[in-house]
Amino acid sequence: MTDQQQPLPTASGEFGDKPALTFPDTPAPADLAVQVLSRGDGELVEAGDDIEVNYYGQVWGGRMFDNSYDRGSSISFPIGVGAVIGGWDEGLVGQQVGSRVLLSIPPHLGYGERGMPQAGIGGTDTLVFVVDVKGTSRR
């Protein structure tokens, strides 16, 4: 799942701060890459939980396409059950509440060949997210 040989973007800020990403001069990893930027000490996220997160999303080497920090409110959704893109399901299950996690998500675990044109995401775009895991609850 994680290829630590491939350089990943670096993220500024601490848990709760809107990050800024700095990208390496290398291609995006072909597989899902998960890097815990800071580990929390809360409950482990399990498949089927509802999790609450803040997130920042940017196309690899491109522009930011969405983030919850500017809206001033987190989002909640079921995780590990196919309700969100595969890279989130695979990369966030098993993380601890209070963690800041960087996800590099290849197209096949993101929005696939169609991309999401309304968000400016192409079918070959690798997505990079910084996710602050704020909470989890069992369904």
Tell me how far CA of residue 38 lies from CA of 61, 102, 113, 117, 123, in angstroms: 23, 10, 32, 32, 30
pLDDT at 96: 97
For each of the domains in the chain, give its residue range(s) and CATH number, in order of start: 28-137 (3.10.50.40)
Query: Are 57 and 65 spatial neighbours (Cβ–Cβ below 8 Å)?
Result: yes
pLDDT tens for 1-47 read 444 578 999 999 999 999 999 999 999 999 999 999 999 999 999 99
What mean pLDDT value characterizes the chain? 95
Token couple for 100: 């800041």
pLDDT tens for 54-74 read 999 999 999 999 999 999 999
Q: What is the separation, in whole angstroms, between the first and last Cα of the chain?
A: 27
pLDDT at 117: 94
- CA-nearest of 93, 83, 87, 97 to 38 is 97
The residue with tokens 């601490």 is 14
